[in-house]
Structure 1
Amino acid sequence: MTGSDLSNIEVAAIALIRERRVLMVTARGRDVIFMPGGKVDAGETLVQAAARESREEVGLELDATQLTQLFTVLTQAHGEPEGRMVNMVIFAADTSAEPVASAEVSELHWATTADLFRCPPAGAEVVKRLNALGLID
């Protein structure tokens, strides 16, 4: 299989920011921290996927009015063959509700650039961009 045969993984994720930190999660059995989010299902818009994933992973009931598209990250997909890219669209989440770890998530983390070493490539890029925008430390 050549690199051109590897389709991008389309992902929608939320950036919930509080006190200059962004919410990230640890999936069960994994040591890296991820943005709450996941793959876009067939027939689903990016914003719908972000809302569904936030509910499934961190128990937040969000709708499109509470999500604002921030930016897109295109980078090597973590744990995938070289050349398989993840196209991750990040939405800022606007809610005062408290996130909770779900069945898919073992732990919540409030991350800053000090946590970059724990992030896969896409998550690290998101953290760097949020920092560059002055939103997190």
Structure 2
Amino acid sequence: MIDKIAWLHLVDDRILSTRSRGKSVFYLPGGKREPGESDTETLIREIREELTVEITPASVAPAGVFEAQADGHAAGLVVRMTCYTAEFSGTLAASSEIEEVAWLGYEDRDRVSAVDKIIFDHLRETGLLR
């Protein structure tokens, strides 16, 4: 099991997504916990590292847990994505291992990872992504 934390940030029916250097698919911003970190601490650190903005801790709210086959791994390896919404301060910019930042709509579903496809479907069903 690959256990990750992700930020769901939607604006005008589009979701913020990132593509890491050397990767062909987009992923929701976020990542894995460091030892002893809470979900909120992980979210704050990962978003700062990837997108150079500061998550407002008091605004962090759970948005769902989703699981799917991990991309590029042997059959049976699952990724669990625990998602949160949150407000932020600063200007979004690619940093660290991030090569590209994009605002994706449902029509971009084929450009994202397997677990993100499930999240895109959920967001469309709830009317948040078009």
TM-score by length of 1: 0.89
Distance (whole Å) between structure 1 residues aligned to residue 37 and residue 63 of structure 2 = 19
> Could you say what the CA RMSD is over the residues aligned between the two structures, in angstroms?
1.3
Q: Deviations over 1:16-49 (max 9, x none)?
A: 1111111000101111001001111110111211
Distance (whole Å) between structure 1 residues aligned to residue 77 and residue 120 of structure 2 = 21
Over 3 Å counting, the alpha-carbon distance change for 1:47 and 1:111 in structure 2 is same
Distance (whole Å) between structure 1 residues aligned to residue 41 and residue 125 of structure 2 = 27
1:103 deviation in Å?
Answer: 2.2
Aligned match of 1:41: 34
Distance (whole Å) between structure 2 residues aligned to residue 60 and residue 102 of structure 1 = 10
Matches within 5 A, 1:40-79: 40-79=33-72
Which ranges of structure 2 fall in alignment gaps of 5 or more residues?
Answer: none
In structure 2, what residue type is equivalent to 1:87? R
Aligned match of 1:103: 96
1:25 matches 2:18: yes
Secondary structure, in 3 states, of the residue corresponding to 2:99? strand
In structure 2, what residue type is equivalent to 1:26? R
**Identical-residue share of aligned pairs (%):** 28
Distance (whole Å) between structure 1 residues aligned to residue 120 and residue 51 of structure 2 = 18
Select the residue among 87, 97, 118 that pairs with 1:125. Answer: 118
Over 3 Å counting, the alpha-carbon distance change for 1:87 and 1:38 in structure 2 is same
Distance (whole Å) between structure 2 residues aligned to residue 92 and residue 13 of structure 1 = 9
Distance (whole Å) between structure 2 residues aligned to residue 34 and residue 80 of structure 1 = 16
In structure 2, what residue type is equivalent to 1:117? D
1:96 deviation in Å?
Answer: 5.8
Which ranges of structure 1 fall in alignment gaps of 5 or more residues?
Answer: 1-7
Over 3 Å counting, the alpha-carbon distance change for 1:111 and 1:12 in structure 2 is same
Distance (whole Å) between structure 1 residues aligned to residue 72 and residue 39 of structure 2 = 23
In structure 1, what residue type is equivalent to 2:48? R
